[in-house]
Amino acid sequence: MADHTNPVSWIDGAWVDGNPPILGPMSHATWMASVAFDGARAFGRLAPDLGLHCARVVRSAEALGLTPPVTAAEIEALAWEGIERFPDSAALYIRPLIYAEEGFVVPVPESAKFVLTLFEAPMPPPKGVRATLSPFRRPSPETAITEAKTASLYPNVARALRDARAAGFDTAVVLDGNGNVAEFAAANLFMAKDGRVATPAINGTFLNGITRQRVIALLRADGAAVEERTVTLADLREADELFATGNYSKVVPCIGFEDRALQPGPAFERARALYFEYAEREGRRRAV
């Protein structure tokens, strides 16, 4: 994509520019999708919750049966090294990968490789997204490795987005196997009604996003009532506000659900303001 530029990657102990090949046709990750990854953000030399993202990619690799060749602390230190290769004003996406090189169906745990990539990606403006209901569901823990952030889960995300965009929307609301709301296609979902904020309770079908957790904590510390509970389609259709949280865009409003127009409201505005205040306060590199 044109807005994803100037990539640099840490591969086998050195920084490499561009998009170098790392997989062959015999690599387990190529044909068996044994890829764990994560995404963090840096902007203005701030990288909020970077350590949590680094820890999650290690857990995701372990969920795939891999033995991570790096620790979360090592990934975080390399990420800061990479951030400092870019101008102070750059908005960056930080993507650690851990993948299997060897194995036949079951990956060889000790064959796990690590690559860290950073590239420039402007922060999307909070202009809002329009969503429709997806015909596709989130998998359950019995059918996929839903507790991890893995490449194998994203074809389902992609088809939900593809279907929604073909219908003229930006994203989709995705349900779980019980027909309750899980999340937006690629972001966690929040709603507000009569001054109370609600978000779907974690039930094993979607990731408990790091930005989701941060926004819940910040809103509660600010005195807001935030419920983690079952959210139904009827709830969304009667909500005063909908908004999304995720690493790539952080906190953005949903300005339409199906044929209903919505406006960014006070819950969204407060959540976004609190998040970026937190990023300014806590997102800087710590002295070592």
CB 236 within 8 A of CB 191: yes
Structure tokens at 86: 């870019």
DSSP 96-162: EEEEE-SEESEE-GGGEEEEEEEEE-PPPPS--EEEEEEEEEPPPTTTS-TTS-BGGGHHHHHHHHH
CATH of 5-120, one of 3.40.50.1000, 3.40.50.2300, 3.30.470.10, 3.90.180.10: 3.30.470.10
Q: Which of 154, 159, 160 is nearest to 132 (CA)?
A: 160
Q: What is the pLDDT of residue 286?
A: 75
Domain spans, the chain: 5-120, 129-279
Give, for all 288 residues of the chain, the pLDDT tens digit: 456 799 999 999 999 999 999 999 999 999 999 999 999 999 999 999 999 999 999 999 999 999 999 999 999 999 999 999 999 999 999 999 999 999 999 999 999 999 999 999 999 999 999 999 999 999 999 999 999 999 999 999 999 999 999 999 999 999 999 999 999 999 999 999 999 999 999 999 999 999 999 999 999 999 999 999 999 999 999 999 999 999 999 999 999 999 999 999 999 999 999 999 999 999 998 765
Mapping DSSP to helix (H, G, I), strand (E, B) and coil, where does residue 186 land? coil
**129 Cβ contact list (under 8 Å, min separation 6):** 169, 170, 171, 184, 244, 252, 253, 254, 255
CATH number of 129-279: 3.20.10.10
Euclidean distance between CA atoms 90 and 84, whole angstroms: 10
Other C-beta atoms within 10 Å of 246: how many? 21
